[in-house]
Amino acid sequence: EAQVTQNPRYLITVTGKKLTVTCSQNMNHEYMSWYRQDPGLGLRQIYYSMNVEVTDKGDVPEGYKVSRKEKRNFPLILESPSPNQTSLYFCASRGPGQGHYGYTFGSGTRLTVV
């Protein structure tokens, strides 16, 4: 089944403790992206990647890092999480064969930073 897989689904952590949210897609998509969703703000793009080793900032990149060492994986790294990074995070990918140009989203990771 074609899908975008994120882990973990839920995560509670403490301020300053480094964490990584993993994302993997099995559709051979070139483009991948991370979004955060907050009430009343919709989805905001954190980072995106056009291919292996090619990444760029979205609208809200502060406090986040990404890497794209393999085409299928696009982890999101929070080096020193803060409470304002408490949010619902979605990984997404897009590529040919979908019938559209938009992103296909993973199931989400709900992060709480205390």
Partner 1 sequence: GENVEQHPSTLSVQEGDSAVIKCTYSDSASNYFPWYKQELGKRPQLIIDIRSNVGEKKDQRIAVTLNKTAKHFSLHITETQPEDSAVYFCAASQSNFNKFYFGSGTKLNVKP
Q: Which is nearer to partner 1, 61 or 63 (CB)?
A: 61
7 binds partner 1 (CB under 8 A): no
Helix (H), strand (E), coil (C) string for the chain: CCCEEEECCEEEECCCCCEEEEEEECCCCCEEEEEEEECCCEEEEEEEEEECCEEEECCCCCCCEECCCCCCECCEEECCCCHHHCEEEEEEEECCCCCCCCCEECCCEEEEEC
22 binds partner 1 (CB under 8 A): no
Q: How far is the CB of 94 from partner 1 (least distance, A)?
A: 7
Q: Which one of residues 34, 48, 64, 74 is an interface residue with partner 1 (CB under 8 A)? A: 48
Binding-site size for partner 1 (CB under 8 A) equals 25
Residues that bind partner 1 (CB under 8 A): 31, 33, 35, 40-45, 48, 50, 56, 58-59, 90, 94, 100-108
